[in-house]
Structure 1
């Protein structure tokens, strides 16, 4: 694999992540303002989380990356080092703007020798199938939770943003009709991608509810299903960054800053942002070390060529 490709792609990813930094800071500030005097409850909630929450939360954080690797390993014969690019891709999607990570992955795949000759088709098809299955799960959980959502006055509070989330749902219906003209992968590959994406959604939903249940076991399971439906509805809203923070803010708005459930979800959103920052700093440090280690070698080669 070309050493320059990860380095160039890494520089691009850092620029995009910085763009999302301001947006993330604004969302965290909004959470702090909505909590008001209860801001200290977030830190208290984090400190009091059961130990069992932490490994499950970490696995939940890595779920998207691991399943992405299973998909692109099959489509591109992706080496294990590709996990870093996929992790960056998902951080960019969450911290900057939805689907901006796919643009990064495309650039990385084009520059990384031996990964994919035409990466756009695979990235496009994987995202279409993932969005389609996500929309179907969202519709199913929304139908199941319709009564509770009405009691929360969810539609009126979310306003126009909720209607914008219907756009990708309508697109998914169109894809079912015109699928043969849209998809580029072979049918066998499409079936594999759909199976992995479906399993990923199942694992993600299960781990999400498990984290919530481990943190607040006294809350009825039915309430978590309603909140999962809201989380999925938020994820359908196009062109927003850091959907966990948006979800945390929305829960504070719906349930109030004194609600233990809302405080927990806000705390988990801030913790997820912290994980994003750790990944950004960690991968940036790795890039720096690699760059410093390559400089002496480049200078030696340059001197050798002059001789």
Structure 2
């Protein structure tokens, strides 16, 4: 399209349009190169992780129930699909955007936090028809995700405070108070400078925040259901309490050995007869396997796409 317009003199009559088009092409190429580099790093991380995994142990513990796999698939896709709904509303993003958002999730998990957002930004910049200025929207979605997570953490901590204060679950009071301070201060800063931080309209921000809350509650509920399907001797209500406490522990920023702390919580609530450590190892291994498969698949696809555009 660019060559045809140039040949007919349409762009030559408008030097500004010519420079803007050329700048857009350069930015698209830079975005594609950055995305390809992240995909290459992701493939290296996948190879390293695959080399040290004990697949036999993980597979032996996985339930064969189709219901488990259906729930796990929904639980795994809740994050990318909820973000796709957000960007579909903002930019009319195509269904293929779910793949880009899955790759964003895996990049954050396997490589570096928020590197996935940078790669998703590059993916959007490589498709100029989606948004002329995607940075503001991606920034707002990311900040609101952190803010809603902080609000949920404080609500969970208020409900679970008698258990935390008892000291029976191994959650140190000093680390809890310091973590709570970090959560409160970061939330206060976001609210204080919201006029400068956010670029989207108020109704869009409210919609995004509401969808983030739905995602959090869905992850907690589906996580409890997954554990119940593995160990049905424990009531689903108790698994729901544990799933909520696990999310609370995972979101406290300065609490060390989060898995150890959660194992202590499970022992207090369930007793020693339940193999919580084995359950956590199985679920963690299963999630990692899916991350590796998704990362490898989309990493290769991105490299192929980048090479075909040269």
TM-score range, shorter chain: 0.7 to 0.9
Question: Partner of 2:113: helix, strand, or coil?
Answer: coil
1:152 to 169, 185, 198: 169
Deviates more, 1:255-264 or 1:62-71: 255-264
Once the two structures are overlaid, the 10-residue window that deviates more, 6-15 or 182-191, is: 6-15
Shift, 1:176, TM fit: 2.5
Displacement of 1:122 in angstroms is 0.7
Q: Is residue 2:238 matched to residue 1:222?
A: yes
The match for 1:97 is 112
**Structure having the higher Rg:** 2
CA RMSD of aligned residues (A): 3.7
Q: Any unmatched runs of 5+ in structure 2?
A: 1-24
* Residue pair 1:130, 1:197 contacting (<8 A) in 2 also: yes
Structure 2 Cα separation of the partners of residues 287 and 217 of structure 1:
41
Tell me the TM-score normalized by structure 1.
Answer: 0.75
Is the counterpart of residue 270 in structure 1 residue 285 in structure 2?
yes
Give 1:233's match in structure 2, choosing from 236, 243, 249.
249
Q: Give 1:303's aligned residue.
A: none
Cα distance between partner residues in 1 of 2:274 and 2:260: 13
Cα distance change of structure 1 residues 163 and 103 upon mapping to structure 2, 3 Å threshold: farther
Equivalent position SS for 2:132: coil
CA distance in 1, matches of 2:124, 2:238: 42
Task: Between 219-228 and 88-97, report the one with greater CA deviation.
Answer: 219-228
**How far did residue 198 of structure 1 move?**
1.9
Distance 1:53 1:162 in 2: 37
The structure in which a higher percent of residues are helix is 1
1:187 matched to 2:212? The reply is: no
2:158 to 140, 143, 149: 143
C-alpha distance 234-23 of structure 1, shift in aligned 2 (>3 A): farther
Q: In the TM superposition, what whole-angstrom CA distance separates every residue of 1:52-106 from its partner, at most 9, and x where no partner exists?
A: 2111111111111001100011112212222221111111111122222111112
Which runs of 5 or more residues in structure 1 are unaligned? Answer: 33-38, 241-245, 299-307
- Displacement of 1:120 in angstroms is 1.4
Cα distance in 2 for residues equivalent to 1:25 and 1:290:
24
Q: 1:205 aligns with which of 197, 211, 220?
A: 220
